[in-house]
Chain A
Amino acid sequence: MMRLPWFDYRAPKSIEEAAKILAWEGTGAMLLAGGTDLLPNMKRRHQMPGTLVGLRNIEDLKRVSNGNGLRLGAGLTLTELLAVRGLRDRYRGLAQAAAQVATPLLRNMGTLGGNLCLDTRCTYYNQNYEWRQAINFCMKKDGDVCWVATASRRCLAVSSTDTAPALIALGARVKLVSAAGAREVALDDLYNNDGIDYLKRKPDEILTEILLPKPAGWKSTYWKLRRRGSFDFPLLGVGAAVKTAGDGTVEEARLVLGAVSSHPLVIKTDSLLGKKLTDDAIAEIGETAESRAKPMDNTDMDLRWRKHVVADFVGYALRELRGDDMGATRLRIAKQLV
Chain B
Amino acid sequence: MSTGKRLDVVGKPRRRVDSRGKVLGQLRFADDLSLPRMLHCKLLRSPHPHARIESIDVSRAEKHPGVHLVLTGKDFPIPFGIMPVAQDEHALAPERVRFVGDPVAAVIAKDEQTAGEALGLIEVKYQPLPTIATPEEALANAETRIHDYGEQGNIHRNQAYEFGDVEEALAGSDHVFEDTFFYEGNTHLPMEQQASLAAVEGDGKLTLSSSTQNPHYLHRQLARVLQMPASQIRVIATPNGGGFGGKCDPANHELVVSKAALILGRPVKICLTREEVFYQHRGRHPVLMRFRTGVTKDGRLTGMHLQTLLDGGGYGSHGPASTFYTGVLTPVTYELPRFKFEACRVFTNKPPCGPKRGHGTPQPRFGQEVQLDKIAEKLGLDPAEMRLGMVTKADALTANWLKIGSTGLAECIRKVVEMSGWKEKHRKLPEGRGVGLACSAYMCGAGVSIYWNKMPHSGVQLLLDRSGQVSVLCGATEIGQGSDDVLAAIVAETLGIGTGDVRVHTGDTGLTPIDLGSYSSRVTVMMGNAALQAAGRVREQIVAAAAESLEILPGRVLLSQGRVFSADDSSKTMSFAEAVTLAESKFGTLGAVGSYAPPRQPGRYKGSGVGPSPAYSFSACVVETEVDPATGWITVPKIWVAHDIGRAINPVHARGQVIGGVYMGLGEALMEEQVFRRLPAKLSGALVHRIPSMLEYKSLTSLDMPEVEVALVEEPDPNCPFGAKEAGQGPLLPVMPAVANAIFDAVGVRIDELPITPDKVLAALQLKAEGKPPRIGPGSFPNVPYAKAMFVLPPWEGGDGNESTPQRAIAGAAGT
B1-55 contacts to A (CB < 8 Å): 45, 47-48
A108-135 contacts to B (CB < 8 Å): 123, 126-128, 130-131, 133-135
B610-635 contacts to A (CB < 8 Å): 626, 628, 630-633, 635
A145 near B683: Cβ-Cβ < 8 Å: yes
Closest 10 CB pairs of A and B: A229-B703, A305-B759, A302-B759, A134-B47, A335-B703, A230-B701, A134-B100, A135-B686, A133-B47, A332-B635
In the complex, the chain A residue whose C-beta lies closest to that of B762 is A305
In the complex, the chain B residue whose C-beta lies closest to that of A136 is B684
Q: A65 to nearest B CB, angstroms?
A: 34
- Interface readout for B682-694 with A: 1 if CB under 8 Å, 0 if not? 0110101111110
Known: A229-B704, A335-B704. A309 touches B686 (CB 8 A): no
Residues of chain B within 8 A of A3, CB atoms compared: 112-113, 116
Residues of chain A within 8 A of B630, CB atoms compared: 312
Q: A291 to nearest B CB, angstroms?
A: 17
Residues of chain A within 8 A of B757, CB atoms compared: 301-302, 305
Q: B340 to nearest A CB, angstroms?
A: 36
Q: B252 to nearest A CB, angstroms?
A: 15
Query: How many of chain A's residues have a CB under 8 angstroms from any CB in B?
Result: 34
B701 near A229: Cβ-Cβ < 8 Å: yes
Q: B680 to nearest A CB, angstroms?
A: 6
A131 near B688: Cβ-Cβ < 8 Å: yes
Residues of chain A within 8 A of B262, CB atoms compared: none
B703 near A336: Cβ-Cβ < 8 Å: yes
In the complex, the chain A residue whose C-beta lies closest to that of B766 is A308
Asked if B68 CB lies within 8 Å of chain A CBs, one says: no
In the complex, the chain A residue whose C-beta lies closest to that of B628 is A332
Query: In the complex, which of the residues B116, B626, B683 contacts A150, with contact meaning CB atoms closer than 8 Å?
Result: B683
Residues of chain A within 8 A of B626, CB atoms compared: 332
- Interface readout for B61-85 with A: 1 if CB under 8 Å, 0 if not? 0000000000000000000000000
Cα distance A228–B632 in the bound complex, in angstroms: 15
Asked if A333 CB lies within 8 Å of chain B CBs, one says: yes
B212-241 contacts to A (CB < 8 Å): none
A308 near B275: Cβ-Cβ < 8 Å: no
Asked if B696 CB lies within 8 Å of chain A CBs, one says: yes
A14-41 contacts to B (CB < 8 Å): none
In the complex, the chain B residue whose C-beta lies closest to that of A304 is B759
Cα distance A232–B684 in the bound complex, in angstroms: 30
Asked if A300 CB lies within 8 Å of chain B CBs, one says: yes
Q: B571 to nearest A CB, angstroms?
A: 61
Q: B614 to nearest A CB, angstroms?
A: 39
Cα distance A127–B275 in the bound complex, in angstroms: 9
Apart from A1-B112, A228-B703, A305-B758, list 10 A-B contacts with CB within 8 A. A123-B691, A131-B688, A131-B692, A150-B683, A231-B695, A231-B701, A232-B695, A301-B758, A305-B762, A333-B633
Asked if A147 CB lies within 8 Å of chain B CBs, one says: yes
Asked if A216 CB lies within 8 Å of chain B CBs, one says: no
Residues of chain B within 8 A of A147, CB atoms compared: 679
Asked if B273 CB lies within 8 Å of chain A CBs, one says: yes
Interchain residue pairs with CB less than 8 A apart (23): A1-B112, A1-B273, A2-B274, A3-B113, A123-B677, A127-B692, A128-B275, A133-B47, A134-B47, A134-B100, A135-B679, A135-B688, A136-B684, A136-B686, A145-B683, A147-B679, A228-B700, A228-B703, A230-B704, A231-B695, A300-B698, A302-B759, A304-B759
Cα distance A100–B396 in the bound complex, in angstroms: 54
Cα distance A237–B540 in the bound complex, in angstroms: 70
Query: How many of chain B's residues have a CB under 8 angstroms from any CB in A?
Result: 43
A228 near B631: Cβ-Cβ < 8 Å: no
A195-253 contacts to B (CB < 8 Å): 227-232
In the complex, the chain A residue whose C-beta lies closest to that of B758 is A305
Q: B306 to nearest A CB, angstroms?
A: 30
Q: B283 to nearest A CB, angstroms?
A: 18
Q: B319 to nearest A CB, angstroms?
A: 24
Asked if B702 CB lies within 8 Å of chain A CBs, one says: yes
Cα distance A2–B274 in the bound complex, in angstroms: 9
Q: B692 to nearest A CB, angstroms?
A: 7
Q: B432 to nearest A CB, angstroms?
A: 11
A308 near B686: Cβ-Cβ < 8 Å: no
Cα distance A228–B703 in the bound complex, in angstroms: 8
Residues of chain B within 8 A of A131, CB atoms compared: 100, 275, 688-689, 692
Interface SS majority for chain B: loop
Task: Spell out B's residues near A (CB within 8 Å).
Answer: 45, 47-48, 100, 112-113, 116, 271, 273-275, 626, 628, 630-633, 635, 671, 677, 679-680, 683-684, 686, 688-693, 695-696, 698, 700-704, 757-759, 762
Cα distance A335–B113 in the bound complex, in angstroms: 40
In the complex, the chain B residue whose C-beta lies closest to that of A333 is B633
Residues of chain B within 8 A of A227, CB atoms compared: 671, 698
Known: A147-B679, A301-B759, A333-B633. A228 touches B686 (CB 8 A): no
In the complex, the chain A residue whose C-beta lies closest to that of B193 is A1
Cα distance A44–B275 in the bound complex, in angstroms: 11
Q: A323 to nearest B CB, angstroms?
A: 20
Residue among B631, B679, B700, B762 with most chain A CB within 10 A? B631
Cα distance A138–B116 in the bound complex, in angstroms: 22
Cα distance A3–B42 in the bound complex, in angstroms: 12
Query: In the complex, which of the residues B47, B100, B690 contacts A123, with contact meaning CB atoms closer than 8 Å?
Result: B690
Residue among A123, A134, A229 with most chain B CB within 10 A? A134
Residues of chain A within 8 A of B695, CB atoms compared: 231-232
A130 near B703: Cβ-Cβ < 8 Å: no
Residues of chain A within 8 A of B274, CB atoms compared: 2
A228 near B113: Cβ-Cβ < 8 Å: no
Q: B645 to nearest A CB, angstroms?
A: 30
Cα distance A3–B631 in the bound complex, in angstroms: 41
Cα distance A230–B694 in the bound complex, in angstroms: 12
In the complex, the chain B residue whose C-beta lies closest to that of A128 is B275
Query: In the complex, which of the residues B112, B679, B690, B704 contacts A228, with contact meaning CB atoms closer than 8 Å?
Result: B704
Q: B544 to nearest A CB, angstroms?
A: 56
Cα distance A305–B758 in the bound complex, in angstroms: 8
Cα distance A22–B261 in the bound complex, in angstroms: 47
Known: A228-B698, A302-B759, A308-B762. A332 touches B688 (CB 8 A): no
Known: A123-B690, A133-B47, A136-B684. A1 touches B703 (CB 8 A): no
Q: B349 to nearest A CB, angstroms?
A: 12
Cα distance A131–B691 in the bound complex, in angstroms: 10
Residue among A133, A227, A300 with most chain B CB within 10 A? A227
Cα distance A312–B686 in the bound complex, in angstroms: 37
Residues of chain B within 8 A of A2, CB atoms compared: 273-274
Residues of chain A within 8 A of B633, CB atoms compared: 332-333
Residue among A131, A230, A232, A332 with most chain B CB within 10 A? A131
A76-127 contacts to B (CB < 8 Å): 123, 126-127
A130 near B691: Cβ-Cβ < 8 Å: no
Cα distance A28–B271 in the bound complex, in angstroms: 32
Cα distance A131–B757 in the bound complex, in angstroms: 26
Known: A131-B275, A332-B635. A150 touches B762 (CB 8 A): no
In the complex, the chain B residue whose C-beta lies closest to that of A6 is B113
Residues of chain A within 8 A of B677, CB atoms compared: 123
Q: A191 to nearest B CB, angstroms?
A: 23
Residues of chain B within 8 A of A126, CB atoms compared: 693, 696
Residues of chain B within 8 A of A304, CB atoms compared: 759
Cα distance A230–B699 in the bound complex, in angstroms: 11
Cα distance A128–B278 in the bound complex, in angstroms: 13
Cα distance A201–B683 in the bound complex, in angstroms: 35
Q: A173 to nearest B CB, angstroms?
A: 32
Query: In the complex, which of the residues B113, B275, B690 contacts A130, with contact meaning CB atoms closer than 8 Å?
Result: B275
Query: In the complex, which of the residues B632, B686, B688 contacts A305, with contact meaning CB atoms closer than 8 Å?
Result: B632
Cα distance A131–B677 in the bound complex, in angstroms: 11
In the complex, the chain A residue whose C-beta lies closest to that of B701 is A230
Cα distance A326–B10 in the bound complex, in angstroms: 50
Residues of chain A within 8 A of B48, CB atoms compared: 134
Cα distance A3–B111 in the bound complex, in angstroms: 11
Q: A307 to nearest B CB, angstroms?
A: 11
Residues of chain B within 8 A of A333, CB atoms compared: 633
Residues of chain A within 8 A of B690, CB atoms compared: 123
